[in-house]
A and B are shown apart, each in its own frame.
Chain A
Amino acid sequence: MIRGVLLCGYALLFIKLLLSGNLTNYIVPKMLPFIYFATFTILLLGSIQIWRKEEDGCCHHCEGGHHVPKTVGQSIRVYGVFIVPLLIGFMFSNYVLDSALAAKRGVQLGGREISEENKQMVEQFLEDPEGYMQNIDNQIENIMQDEGTEKVEKQEQLKEDLLEAQTVVVNDDKYVSTLNFINEQIDAMIGKRIEITGFVFRERDFAADEFVVARYGLTCCVADATVYGILVKTDQAAKWENDTWVKVEGIIDETTYRERFVPVIIKPSVTVVNAPDQPYVYEY
């Protein structure tokens, strides 16, 4: 009986999260079919459990197999843990990860080693921009030939669009791949305009004129949330506190951070915006 009620409780929790849209605060939308499946089965199993009780409970002779608790005290010990997730889910489901956790996870700024090879690439680009671009196109074509899958093609399309674009608009659905691309092809991207939305975050060792526009990227659930972002440099940085949602427009450049080259947005215009409906990005 208690089992039946607990199962129904879980089904209700799933239903509430689905209805309120808060489910995506925990797991990525592509998992939804599994959640529907789970909701349906748990509800079914729960109903059967409650109904089964009428038939004089069938399971006491499963000796050694499963332990059905015999007293109320035992029941509380056994089923108590099942109540905790229900409490959390019913009461705190609108919590969204903020910069406090980002500080522990560290933000992915990308970047590359400051090495001879990189300097050569920069020089190469400065001397002969067209030849360099040709080179990159060839590389992309090679990758294209290797991989014919749809997803890869989409990525290549994105790359070409970004190389041609004057203004790079970082959309939620291509957030991570756009930032990755800016990283990989920083030489081609320097000087382009960029538009990006995210929350403000600072590592402890940031200078006073630096902050990061960042988003949490989820692959399966919040447990694997990773912070992706891009550095912003402005004299006015102090105006925006951590966790403020901002839209930043500026120019892509490169700077050094922790002895690496990282992309940076310079001469930014920053506007404070409302937190988006989907604070996380779900790209993969």
Chain B
Amino acid sequence: MEKVVGKKGDLASLILFISIMTLFLFGDVLVKEVNVPSFALQVGTIFLSILLEAIPFILLGVFASSLIQTFVSEQMVQKWIPKRPIVALVPAAVVGALLPICECAIIPVVRRLITKGMPLHVGVVIMVTAPILNPVVFASTYYAFSANMSIVYGRMGIAFVASLIIGLIVYVIFRNHLPLKSIKHSHDHHVNSRLTATLTHAVDEFFDVGRYLIIGAFVASFFQVVIHREILVEVGQHEIIGPALMMGFAYVLSLCSEADAFVAASFTSTFAPASLLAFLIYGPMIDFKNTLMMLAYFRRRFVVIFIGVVTTVVYVCVYIFHFIG
């Protein structure tokens, strides 16, 4: 580590190491005597489960991102992307659909592609489509809603349309800005091998994004335990408030897009289809956990505007669908 920290840093590491080993060996014995309220245990359990589930995928995303950083050049990216900005939206959505990646893994990848010269709006489209239009998510939605195929196709269809509109709006607003936190790139570690460079990047990025993930997961698990689902039922059938409420619910729950269909299915009897669709489309695009992860990578102003755009577009799309369907 840094020279400034020097010996103190080493000492701290040593202490940390010893405490971790103690916990590893005797952790559960230590707490036998302590009486922890079940509320705290519930929050803790859900918190850790969100993390355990996300960590492998974040690692994958972080690795993919470091590989791109090390092996893909700006010229390659520019060659692949269609010159006309609007035309580039559709292939972006298709790329998003082909990638079987969830929202945790896609953010590091997209931000890296953007630093490599991919236009922002194209990156955004990939970011919002990948977690929904994806074979695994289609399968889980199908099993959860096999009795109601309009939800399954509605989810995929609306997500596709909404992502194109979102990309378009982002293009109009941020045509000439790059809202990344660090655009400057002096990453020429005079390192002997590209492998070491890749691994080093992966660790740095893991810690950058991990901090936000942990905070996000904690807040999400708190909401998970606090919210009494019966309260939602009261306003569930309302056709204007219903979808908005379910979007807010999806936001705070921060579920993985592969699993949210089953949670949505548990609301089938109390919520109108439009509300369920709002939940299923909005949740994977934005939730508390990935808002914080985006803050690790993008400027605050962009994150706020992006959330505003996604929220409006998804709501309007679901509303229109409600009237057509």
Contact = CB atoms under 8 A, between A and B. Distances in A.
A106 B230 contact: yes
Contacts of A158: none
**Interface range, B side:** 35 or more
A97 B214 contact: no
A75 B46 contact: no
A222 B36 contact: no
Contact of A81 (B143, B215, B253): B215
B172 interface: no
A178 interface: no
Contact of B13 (A5, A25, A35, A100): A5
B203 A219 contact: no
Contacts of A27: 49, 52-53
Given A45-B202, A104-B225, A223-B220, A86 B49 contact: no
A267 interface: no
Given A2-B12, A5-B17, A65-B187, A91 B27 contact: yes
A201 interface: no
A41 B10 contact: no
Given A3-B207, A71-B5, A88-B44, A223 B186 contact: no
Contact of B52 (A9, A26, A41, A52): A26
B208 A82 contact: no
Interface in B234-279: 253-256, 258-263, 266, 269
A91 B28 contact: yes
Contacts of A66: 204-205, 207-208
B265 to A, nearest CB: 8
Contacts of A71: 4-5
Interface in A151-194: 151, 184
B324 interface: no
B3 to A, nearest CB: 8
Interface in B47-71: 47-53, 55-57, 59-60, 63
Contacts of B191: 58
Contacts of B13: 1-2, 4-5
A100 B28 CA distance: 22
Contacts of B266: 105-106, 108, 226
Contacts of A105: 229, 266
Interface in A202-222: 217, 219-222
A72 B8 contact: yes
Task: Find the residue from B4, B8, B21, B215 having the highest chain A CB count within 10 A.
Answer: B4
A219 B140 contact: yes
A174 B131 CA distance: 28
Contacts of A220: 53, 255-256, 258-259
B203 A85 contact: no
SS of B interface (majority): helix
B260 A91 contact: no
Given A26-B45, A34-B56, A64-B184, A82 B214 contact: yes
A82 B9 CA distance: 16
A172 to B, nearest CB: 17
Interface string B1-26: 11111001110110011001101100
A34 B229 contact: no
Contacts, number: 230
B235 to A, nearest CB: 15
Given A223-B253, A224-B259, A34 B57 contact: yes
B200 interface: yes
Task: Find the residue from A3, A37, A222 having the highest chain B CB count within 10 A.
Answer: A222
B262 A226 contact: yes
Contacts of B199: 44-45, 48
Interface string A11-35: 0111011000001011100010011
B188 to A, nearest CB: 9
B1 A224 contact: no
Nearest to B10: A1
A12 B263 contact: no
B54 to A, nearest CB: 9
B182 interface: yes
Contact of B44 (A1, A53, A92): A92
A250 B14 CA distance: 60
B262 A89 contact: no
B45 A92 contact: yes
A72 B263 contact: no
A26 B44 contact: no
Interface in B169-201: 182, 184-187, 189, 191, 196, 199-200
Given A16-B24, A93-B28, A224-B262, A104 B228 contact: yes
10 contacts: A2-B9, A3-B203, A35-B52, A64-B186, A90-B24, A91-B31, A100-B39, A217-B262, A223-B224, A223-B253
Interface of A: 1-10, 12-14, 16-17, 23, 25-27, 31, 34-35, 37-38, 41-42, 44-45, 48-49, 52-53, 57-66, 68-72, 75, 78, 81-95, 97-98, 100-101, 104-106, 108, 111, 151, 184, 217, 219-224, 226, 260, 284
